[in-house]
A and B are shown apart, each in its own frame.
Chain A
Amino acid sequence: MTALLARGNLAERVLRGPVLWSGLAGLTAFALGPFVWILLTSLKDHNELYATPLRYLPHHPTFENYVDAWTSPVTPFSRFFFNSLWVCSVTMVATTAVSVLAGYAIARFRFAGRDALLLIFLVTQMFPSVLLIAPLLAQWRALGLLDTYQALIYSNFSFTVPFTVWMMVGYFSSIPRDLEESAMIDGCSQFGALCRVVLPLAVPGIAATAIFAFVVSWSELLFAISFTSQTEMRTLSAGLLYMVGQYEVQWGPLSAGVIMSTVPVAVLFTFLQRHLIHGLTAGAVKG
């Protein structure tokens, strides 16, 4: 239930009606436009792709791009898919767990160096990841982790954890302390208060953080290419680049690959976004 725009006076009704719908239409059209183009491209064969003048709808739609990409032994998208799924899921779970703990601690506890620590988390993001490649490569090689999932997962932490910690600090900060305090007065330990009172309220924030971790590692490219060499270990993003040839971009298979790589994220999101719901606060705030 949204109370921001509850039924009411004219301003509210206008905002709720036409403004809302036109805003929605505009935004979805903007977001979806290029995707529609990719979808149409993925259904065209080579001749239609190169036809001039520009052809929008395929006259002979074909699924050969999808079949080629999925089953081709030279660019096994099925394998890339699985690799990405595994790496990103683990990254998502680990990152979320780590940042919930750290975010809560920073948001709630007053301790020396708190502000400096926050800044340090951010500082680690102020550095171009490109320059991190060589030292990281040396590290993974020394640990024997090249061409493994672990190298990718740990490297993903370098850009997911700082942001997710900050995110969780933000979300926890916007939950009033009174709730935990009343719980602790009622006999709860701090950790218990965290689990029973704060976490349920922070569910939207945690869901958003999980989505963030998954999505950014899903589209991560540089580390995937640098730390893996074997085709079987390639992730989906690296696999998509296989369609960029010596002198041309193979738009047919590339579009098919893009569509295929967005599907799992869309599915995951549809599932997770149910948690982006209004928190359970009935009766929680007293007075």
Chain B
Amino acid sequence: MTTVPVALTRRGMRPLLSARARRLLVGYAYLVPAALCLIGTVVVPIGMAIHMSLYNDVLYKPRDYHFIWLGNYARLAQDPVFWLTLWNSVVWVFGSVGFQFVAGFAAALVLHESFVGRSLARTVILLPWVIPGVVVGLLWEWLYQPNYGVINDILIRLDLLHDRVAWLSNPDLAMPAVVFTNVWRGIPFFAIMLLAGLQAIPGELYEAARVDGAGVLARFWHITLPLLRPIIVVATATRIIWTFNYADLIFVMTNGGPANATQITSTYTLLQAYSNLDFGYAAALSVVLLVVLLVFTAVFLRVTRGVEEVG
């Protein structure tokens, strides 16, 4: 609760706007640039997509274009592939983000310490994030290739495998394989974000706690985690949302296959939009995904007490 000290206003003068109103206005003014950025680039297209989802909109059948209210949504509810993709999406997201978070947090803790070669280590950890997703997909597809890929080659040479494993062609292994690649790519995100958070924690707090006799784990649990909570929540929430919609890797590595084993809702949307040119259905799929994510985020923020301030 901030209270603007009365001393700031000049003695005897009544300001035009109350202090509170002034604060509000200033607050909104700070938001204007961000709002402008978003309205043009995202809000309007989302509105258009919602509109599109209410129509039968198949691009190569323009004569069949008509309003079908919730027709696309009804079709969606009865589409077994859709439900499969929803489940795959859950596996994909929580598998990827879960491991990314754990490994990224570990990396952040490691990189927080000072040691020789720290800046080099930090740069190295960042690298997987830098390559475009499509290239990461191509690269790992090559690494996973059963006949001339490095992974099988090394595992066989080390005698850990006897037969060549077709990582991406086996319906049971394909999803873990793409999740693994996504984890590789996503660790730097968490590492950097959490590292920045760690750096902002004042050292005195730890000193004080040590003096009071708290051990490493206690310090971690009672100081580090609570102070990092807003950042953890933000990073995880945004990453979950982003991963739900991330189609590049799967698109390149397996294209949703084999037999829809790695088809997630966003790749399915792509397929409907660009192979079947059924933009109405694709729009409905996106809207449904949007709603799912909205609900999830609202719940998530409530449960973790979101970005309410610390302490």
| Residues of chain A having any CB pair with chain B under 8 Å | 1-6, 8-9, 11-12, 15-16, 20, 23-24, 27-28, 30-32, 34-35, 37-38, 52-54, 97-99, 101-102, 104-109, 111, 117-119, 121-132, 135-136, 139, 154-155, 157-158, 161-163, 165-167, 169-171, 173-177, 180-181, 184-185, 189-191, 201-202, 204-205, 207-208, 211-212, 215, 218-221, 237, 240-241, 244, 249, 251, 254, 258, 261-262, 265-266, 269-270, 273-274, 276-279, 281, 284-285
Expressed in whole angstroms, the Cα–Cα distance for A20 and B103 within the complex equals 13
Asked if A269 meets B142 with Cβ closer than 8 Å, knowing A130-B273, A131-B283, the reply is no
Expressed in whole angstroms, the Cα–Cα distance for A6 and B233 within the complex equals 27
Query: Which residues from B are CB-within-8-Å of A175?
Result: 200
Closest 9 A/B residue pairs (Cβ): A3-B206, A105-B30, A208-B196, A158-B41, A170-B234, A109-B27, A102-B34, A237-B132, A126-B293
Contact yes or no, B192 A211, CB < 8 A? yes
Contact yes or no, A202 B200, CB < 8 A? yes
In B278-311, which residues have CB < 8 Å from any A CB? 282-283, 286, 289-290, 293-294, 297-298, 301, 306-311
Asked if A277 meets B110 with Cβ closer than 8 Å, knowing A11-B216, A166-B238, A177-B2, the reply is no
Contact yes or no, B27 A221, CB < 8 A? no
Q: How far is the CB of A218 from chain B (nearest CB, A)?
A: 6
Expressed in whole angstroms, the Cα–Cα distance for A282 and B67 within the complex equals 65
Contact yes or no, A23 B31, CB < 8 A? no
Asked if A261 meets B131 with Cβ closer than 8 Å, knowing A99-B34, A128-B289, A184-B5, the reply is yes
Contact yes or no, A276 B31, CB < 8 A? no
Query: Which residues from A are CB-within-8-Å of B297?
Result: 119, 122, 126
Query: Which residues from B are CB-within-8-Å of A241?
Result: 134-135
Partner of B31, one of A20, A34, A105, A254: A105
Q: How far is the CB of A103 from chain B (nearest CB, A)?
A: 9
Contact yes or no, A201 B200, CB < 8 A? yes
Contact yes or no, B38 A54, CB < 8 A? no
Closest to B220 in A: A4
In B207-233, which residues have CB < 8 Å from any A CB? 207, 210, 215-217, 219-220, 224, 227-231, 233
